[in-house]
Structure 1
Amino acid sequence: MATTASDRTISDSINTSPVLQDITNQALDPDKSDPGSKKELINFLRGWPSPSLLSPSILQSATTALLSDPSLFVPALQYGPDPGYQPLREELAVWLGRQYSTETKSEQICITGGASQGLACVLASFTDPSYTQTVWASAPCYYLACPIFEDAGFGLGRIKAVPEDQEDGIDIDLLETMLKHYRHVVYLVSTCSNPSGTTMSLQKRKQLVELARKHDVLVVSDDVYDFLQWTILPHPDASSPSKPGPLLPRLSDVDLSTPPSTTEIKEGKWFGNAISNGSFSKLLGPGLRTGWVHGTPDFVMGLSQTGATRSGGAGSQFAAALLAEVMKAGELERHLQETVRPGLQRRHGIIIETIKQELGELGVTVAAQDKGRFGGYFVWLTLPEGLDGKRVAQKARQEEELILADGEMFEVSGDEQGAKFRGNIRLSFSWEEEHKIREGVRRLGSVLRAMLEKIQ
């Protein structure tokens, strides 16, 4: 999702084979190699920020400021208001408005315990399996979103795949043919999608919102990578600003920019048809477990009334207060500009350069690399004809101490036939340091060469 919360371990309900369970155990401990191997483990599955991209000094300073002032730490340590810690809502409104070049108001923001918890609360408050017919997920799909939908009652084939096109995300025309006469949820990562890296165009965003209004659809976009975009460098050592320019409007911005019709006003309220699900996990650290939902004020107020929130107050009250201090000091933007985006930009340049050198001659292709900008944590590979991603991942783990995410992991649970990805591999470049990124791609090349020799 994209996390969305960060990629965690592979759920037993998704993959139960001995080899993949072994990969799950290794993903828990990235330093645990096979005792009989002389090679250092390299983990291209783990979608976490590298320790070098974290921000302990920023959080330490903010914590000192927070705990030194009773007017700050008393409310921070109490139950919070249902919509969330107001100073953080206000700081986010100003910062998000700058980022998207659009007016954002604090009453359009609900603080959550991260993107995954936010998605679960949205489903709890605004869907009912007896009324909501289907969840449509853009495919390839963030694989850990599927269990969240299943927990909300959308199991037994009620999550359906809508394939992406390779240029700009979910296939709108195909989706429209599927929506007639139903009430639905559409889930996607509209910017720097996990796993494919594709970004939906502004035209397609407008088309999706129009479609959502026409068919009584709630569109949930995990916007966890929006602020992790950069200019693609000609080579990793080239000098270029990491921030690529204005961001595309969120789907929630597109929805809010068009006044509702009279039929969309229900009992004097407008809940809208698209929301943005954001998170600090990829910006400052997943352990903070704090995020936000952006939508209409009526949607935000309704979300804040989810039963668990009413009982315990808004998620992550202390962390929200801490993050408000970080944002007041301007440290979030500085950290993104000076540490996170340049670090990811360079890692991305290294992995693309090494893929071209080591895998290009083998017929491996990389998705979404020709638009001058990129973002997120992942690259999506298409393997040469005749190679199976799951088998490649198994061989890489067994022979090269290399952990990969095969394409079948990103098929929509329960609708695997709707969009298949047996010939794909996802590589994460966010976790490993630069020298291990290069070495990992070289090891992958060795595996592919050996497998191709056997089928030729």
Structure 2
Amino acid sequence: MAVPTEPVDLFTGWPNPALLPAPDLLRSATAVLTNPSIANPALLYGPDEGSEPLRVHIAQWLEAFYRPHSPITPRRICITGGASQSLACILHVFTDPLYTRNAFMVDPTYHLAGRMFDDAGFADRTRRVPEDDEGIDLDYLENALRTAEAKAEAEGNLDPKIKPPRPWRKIYKYVIYAIPTFSNPATKIMSLGHREQLVRLARKYDALLITDDVYDFLQWSAMPGEELSIPNQACVPRLVDVDRYLDGGPIDEWGHTISNGSFSKLLGPGARTGWVEASEKVAYGASQVGCSRSGGAPSHLCSTIIDQLLPSGFLEKHIREVLQPAYAERYHLLLSAVQEHLVPLGVTVAQASTNVAGGYFMWITLPSPLRAVDIVAQAQTEEKLRLAPGTLFQVQGDPNGSSDRFASQIRLCFAWAEPRHLTEGVRRLSRVLERSLK
């Protein structure tokens, strides 16, 4: 058996370098750094909440895409150093490692998010919530919340234990983390009905819903040949939008949702720039984390450079004319290859339950008795093919979760690889499966 000489990577969840708008960022950076009235404040610390012009322009851009029931104001926006840094800061400000009972994560989950919950003190109190056909098992979640609340009452855990009161923060009893649109890794879209019920649960049990909404703009038709027929607006309201209108709106000035956004999937992760949107109180509180108070707004220079791209309409054009067509082509190419080469071997693939597909990933299930960790190891050794086993995406630390919940699943990423590598990678995987099934 000859081993291929050229490696194929369907693991890495990065944007393809050919899709990064380096020339446009160069022009923007030149415009910033050659104008002292812009360059001087951009090279200083900047306000805690982030660049005011960028906050204004992000609010306008998000409003045009999500079309919420009420306007998005700049005071609802806080500039961050990207979605990962933002998640860590949110946990620093709005949770207490003793009083906050549990951190719930939709399972399967983004595999690197768990480290941030671990760092925030939730190593032994992180709990899984299974996905269902509509994105999250609400009955399971409510039972877990009810059990945790009874335990807290019995233990007298009624007030924050470590963090003293501050006017810019509220300590929530629970945290719930999800990627509700084009989830990583399972690619599901949480239904509107489930989103509304989830917000109601968050209000009832005083939970902060943190959603990574980083893939929302990367959407296209699930039907081949109709890739770009989807309107240039969100396919479903975010939870942060639901919290604003549901049952008359938030029950207090803080609210129970925070949307975590990033330019990483749109302009490049190296820009290290993102935003959160929430109530004005929560958005301001997110800006008051100690590292921002000391160092000023994160990614302040990059924020100023990126801001030049929004008023001109460049970002919308880049998404519509570059990213959506490129990723739609890759998605349908990969799906076609899976259906041709893997489905006949007994593989099943999670496909969009609506007419909209998107994001970066595809989630496949191997036929019994194959195990993903074995197939992934063989693919690497025998075919120079890099894949992500499903067990990588299990929520860690939950004593009620088995260790092999996703033992037969594999995540495929179509964003990083060249289009020609997608079909080739699937062919290589089919050869591994054929040998393993003999």
- CA separation of 1:115 and 1:429: change in aligned 2, threshold 3 A: same
Corresponding residue SS for 1:192 = coil
Is 1:43 the counterpart of 2:9? The answer is yes
The answer for unaligned runs of 5 or more in structure 1 is: 1-35
The answer for unaligned runs of 5 or more in structure 2 is: 153-172
- CA separation of 1:440 and 1:417: change in aligned 2, threshold 3 A: farther
Corresponding residue SS for 2:104 = strand
Q: Deviations over 1:5-27 (max 9, x none)?
A: xxxxxxxxxxxxxxxxxxxxxxx
Is 1:216 the counterpart of 2:206? The answer is yes
Corresponding residue SS for 2:31 = helix
- CA separation of 1:239 and 1:210: change in aligned 2, threshold 3 A: closer
Residue 416 of structure 1 deviates from its aligned partner by 7.3
Counterpart position of 1:433: 418
Cα distance in 1 between the residues matched to 2:412 and 2:228: 24
Runs of 4+, deviation exceeding 3 Å: 242-246, 258-261
CA contact (8 A) 1:278 1:293 kept: yes
Counterpart position of 1:310: 293
CA contact (8 A) 2:101 2:174 kept: yes
Alignment equivalent of 1:241, drawn from 219, 223, 228:
228
CA contact (8 A) 1:242 1:341 kept: no
Residue 369 of structure 1 deviates from its aligned partner by 2.9
Alignment of 1:278-357 (within 5 A): 278-357=261-340
Counterpart position of 2:430: 445
Alignment of 1:259-278 (within 5 A): 259=248, 264-265=251-252, 270-278=253-261
Is 1:92 the counterpart of 2:92? The answer is no
Corresponding residue SS for 1:153 = helix
Cα distance in 1 between the residues matched to 2:300 and 2:61: 19
Corresponding residue SS for 1:252 = helix
CA contact (8 A) 2:4 2:383 kept: no
Residue 71 of structure 1 deviates from its aligned partner by 1.6
Cα distance in 1 between the residues matched to 2:138 and 2:395: 17
Q: Deviations over 1:379-400 (max 9, x none)?
A: 0001101110111100100100
Residue 341 of structure 1 deviates from its aligned partner by 0.8
Corresponding residue SS for 2:363 = strand
Counterpart position of 2:126: 159
Corresponding residue SS for 1:169 = coil
Instruction: Write the letter of the residue equivalent to 1:381.
Output: I
- CA separation of 1:351 and 1:411: change in aligned 2, threshold 3 A: same
CA contact (8 A) 2:220 2:229 kept: yes
Residue 126 of structure 1 deviates from its aligned partner by 0.3
Corresponding residue SS for 1:327 = coil
Alignment equivalent of 2:108, drawn from 140, 157, 160:
140
Cα distance in 1 between the residues matched to 2:435 and 2:95: 49
Residue 368 of structure 1 deviates from its aligned partner by 3.0
Corresponding residue SS for 1:293 = strand
CA contact (8 A) 2:4 2:384 kept: no
Counterpart position of 1:120: 88
Corresponding residue SS for 1:354 = helix
Instruction: Write the letter of the residue equivalent to 1:70.
Output: P
Corresponding residue SS for 1:374 = strand
Cα distance in 2 between the residues matched to 1:249 and 1:370: 17
Cα distance in 2 between the residues matched to 1:80 and 1:104: 22
Alignment equivalent of 1:192, drawn from 159, 182, 193:
182
Alignment equivalent of 2:342, drawn from 336, 359, 363:
359
Residue 431 of structure 1 deviates from its aligned partner by 0.5
Counterpart position of 2:365: 382
Corresponding residue SS for 1:75 = helix
Alignment equivalent of 2:244, drawn from 245, 256, 263:
256
Residue 132 of structure 1 deviates from its aligned partner by 0.3
Instruction: Write the letter of the residue equivalent to 1:223.
Output: D
- CA separation of 1:139 and 1:416: change in aligned 2, threshold 3 A: farther
Cα distance in 1 between the residues matched to 2:214 and 2:229: 17
Cα distance in 2 between the residues matched to 1:105 and 1:279: 18
Equivalent residues, number? 407
Residue 59 of structure 1 deviates from its aligned partner by 0.5
Cα distance in 2 between the residues matched to 1:87 and 1:260: 28
- CA separation of 1:375 and 1:240: change in aligned 2, threshold 3 A: closer
Q: Deviations over 1:34-77 (max 9, x none)?
A: xx954211111100000111111110111121122222111111
Corresponding residue SS for 1:162 = strand
Q: Deviations over 1:324-359 (max 9, x none)?
A: 101122111111011111100000000000000000
Percent of matched pairs sharing the same residue: 45
Cα distance in 1 between the residues matched to 2:52 and 2:282: 17
CA contact (8 A) 1:220 1:277 kept: yes
Instruction: Write the letter of the residue equivalent to 2:145.
Output: L
- CA separation of 1:83 and 1:134: change in aligned 2, threshold 3 A: same
Corresponding residue SS for 2:410 = strand
Cα distance in 2 between the residues matched to 1:131 and 1:58: 47
Residue 447 of structure 1 deviates from its aligned partner by 0.4
